[in-house]
Amino acid sequence: MSVENATASQAAPARAVTMEKLVNLCKRRGLVFPTSDIYGGLGSTFDYGPLGVELKRNVKEAWWRETVQRRTDVLGLDSAILQHPRTWEASGHLQNFTDPLVDCKNCKQRFRADHIEGDRCPECGGELTEARQFNLMFKTFMGPLEDTANTVYLRPETAQGIFANFANVIDTQRVKLPFGIAQTGKSFRNEITPGNFIFRTREFEQMEMEFFVKPEPAEEQRWFDYWVGERFNWYVRYGIASDRLRLRPHAQDELSHYSRGTTDVEYLYPFGWGELEGIARRGSFDLDQHAKFSGKDLTYFDEEAKARYRPWVIEPAAGVDRAMLAFMLDAYDEDVVENETRIVLRLDPRLAPVKAAIYPLLRKGGHPEKAQAVRELIARYFTTAYDQAGSIGRRYRRQDEIGTPFGVTIDHQTMEDDTVTLRDRDTTQQERVPIGTLVATLVDRIGWYREA
Ligand code: GAP
């Protein structure tokens, strides 16, 4: 599938999912809970439950596997959330990472000036204050003294930890341009209008990569196009329908202060098209700024050209929570099995929180003991669930709605010939598989290294 084709077709196919249905499923099945639920919640902050944490880990691993593990030109990093405060002066975030804020003089609600049309309050029609710039960074203090000299910020993007370590990486690793440095981790933004569940929150996780290239326009263009294509196709490979994805280049007046060109990968959420990931050309803006503010040499020595320069950067920057939301929304389906409507999350098996559920058909006759032994065997490699409560049909439904791709049933025949039935979530078809080849069959079906 080419990116061009996918971008051209933007029709919205009918779908069963709504935000309300997904939020309810997430709460009911332990994927996502509102933070501090017992205290009435904390504005647009969420916790990931036992199944949500597995899905989130799988999303990050899928990104890492393809951005770092399988490549020879990208290295990993894990930098601190708290950075030297000069970082944010140099990066421009202290001065520029702001949103224009207006208050309604009548109902006192706050809005982002750039999110409303007209000059009256969208809620009550009241008069609005003049717009003022509001910095999105969370502040705290390092050490016991709460004064300006000790102010530090929770990072609003993971990217700056990468730029700050540029010299450390090139001094300790054998790297040659072009190469990338990637990391995943928490970022924090004091968003004025968070919302739409885990789409926009104040604490979230990012998956970012800074790809350093020769400072030449043709080289920059080549790698920019490459990464836009790669990132678009990553979402498709992991299960998102390509007609619910599109590319949107930023207009000049919406570019971030560090960017000289950004294209977003957008997804068609139930509330409309919205950003999933941004791919930006940052040029040498960040390395130039950090060199200036730190006084350190942040150049790269080009052996062939015998020249020193600060490389330019292409940055694919994705959100873990937003990717999770898109994967769940796109996988959500309802169909009829044995005259009953079921909810089924058709997640890519690599992303599914539980890979295989193990069911003893009966609670006697040695079935539970055998099922536990099979579970232990599979659990060496994958996350499993064990369920012996209720009819087998009900047990299948429980796993279908959390997206478990495979069900393994231990029945009478298992006790005789050491085979089990293997049920497929999507087709609901079953086949008999020897226990001896079960793990290999699952590895094959999960398809870790499938290319398409
Ligand atoms: N380093 C560049 C950068 O941070 P960004 O477009 O501001 O770029 C990258 O953020 C990605 O991080 C977004 O595409 C989105 O997926 C995620 N993201 C940003 N703000 C978010 C928020 N408040 N809540 C959830 N995810 C967010």
Same domain, 427 and 324: no
Determine the Cα–Cα distance for residues 269 and 373; give it in Å rounded to an integer: 42
Q: Is 189 helix (H, G, I), strand (E, B) or coil?
A: coil
Q: Which domain holds residue 360?
A: 354-446
Percent of the chain with pLDDT over 90: 90
**What is the domain-level CATH number for residue 57?**
3.30.930.10
Judge whether 401 lies within some domain: yes
pLDDT (tens digit per residue) in 100-136? 999 999 999 999 898 888 889 999 999 999 999 999 9
pLDDT of 451 reads: 64
pLDDT of 115 reads: 85
State the greatest distance between any 2 C-alpha atoms of the chain, in Å, as a whole number.
79
Judge whether 253 lies within some domain: yes
Determine the Cα–Cα distance for residues 424 and 438; give it in Å rounded to an integer: 14
Judge whether 452 lies within some domain: no
Same domain, 25 and 173: yes
Judge whether 143 lies within some domain: no
Judge whether 46 lies within some domain: yes
Same domain, 415 and 273: no
Q: Which residues 6+ apart lie within 8 Å of 423 measured at CB?
A: 396, 406, 407, 408, 409, 429, 430
Judge whether 37 lies within some domain: yes
| One-letter identity of residue 314 | I
Same domain, 359 and 322: no
pLDDT of 13 reads: 53
- Number of domains within the chain: 2
- Angle between helix 438-446 and helix 367-379 axes, rounded to 10 deg: 50
Same domain, 313 and 422: no
Same domain, 193 and 317: yes
pLDDT (tens digit per residue) in 60-95? 999 999 999 999 999 999 999 999 999 999 999 999
Judge whether 101 lies within some domain: no
DSSP 269-281: ETTEEEEEEEEEE
Same domain, 369 and 226: no
Same domain, 194 and 236: yes
Determine the Cα–Cα distance for residues 281 and 288; give it in Å rounded to an integer: 14
CB 64 within 8 A of CB 182: yes
**Does position 187 have pLDDT exceeding 50, yes or no?**
yes
- Higher-pLDDT residue of 169 and 15 is 169
**Does position 10 have pLDDT exceeding 70, yes or no?**
no
Last-in-domain residue among 280, 312, 328: 328
Same domain, 285 and 431: no
- Angle between helix 50-64 and helix 320-331 axes, rounded to 10 deg: 110
Q: Give the pocket of ligand 1 (CB within 6 Å).
A: 157, 159, 189, 191, 200-201, 204, 206, 208, 275-278, 315, 317-319, 321-322
pLDDT of 14 reads: 73
Which pLDDT band holds residue 5 (cuts at 50, 70, 90)? very low
| Pocket probe mutation, ligand 1, options 44, 204, 269, max atoms within 8 Å of Cβ | 204
Q: Give the ligand 1 atom nearest the CA of 202.
A: 23
The residue to which tokens 């040695």 are assigned? 366
Last-in-domain residue among 289, 313, 328: 328
Average pLDDT of span 369-384: 98
Average pLDDT, the chain: 94
**Does position 450 have pLDDT exceeding 80, yes or no?**
no
Nearest CA to ligand 1 atom 8: 317
Q: Which residues 6+ apart lie within 8 Å of 278 measured at CB?
A: 250, 262, 263, 264, 265, 316, 317
CB 422 within 8 A of CB 407: yes
Which of 36-40, 187-191, 284-288, 335-339 bottoms out in mean pLDDT, i.e. has the lowest? 335-339
Q: Looking at residue 127, what DSSP letter applies?
A: B
Residues pairing with 431 in the sheet: 422
Retrieve residue 350's tokens.
Answer: 């690599």
Same domain, 215 and 316: yes
Same domain, 280 and 426: no
pTM, rounded to two decimals = 0.94
- How many Å lie between the centroid of ligand 1 and the Cα of residue 405? 30
Strands of 284-405 (E only): list them.
Answer: 300-302, 307-309, 312-319, 332-337, 340-345, 356-360, 384-386
Q: Give the ligand 1 atom nearest the CA of 158.
A: 1
**What is the domain-level CATH number for residue 406?**
3.40.50.800
Judge whether 115 lies within some domain: no
Retrieve residue 4's tokens.
Answer: 């061009």
Residues pairing with 213 in the sheet: 312
Nearest CA to ligand 1 atom 16: 319
pLDDT of 144 reads: 92
Last-in-domain residue among 294, 328, 362: 328
Same domain, 324 and 358: no
Determine the Cα–Cα distance for residues 238 and 159; give it in Å rounded to an integer: 24
CB 93 within 8 A of CB 159: no
| Pocket probe mutation, ligand 1, options 263, 285, 322, 324, max atoms within 8 Å of Cβ | 322
Candidates 442, 450, 423, 445; CA nearest to 382 is: 442
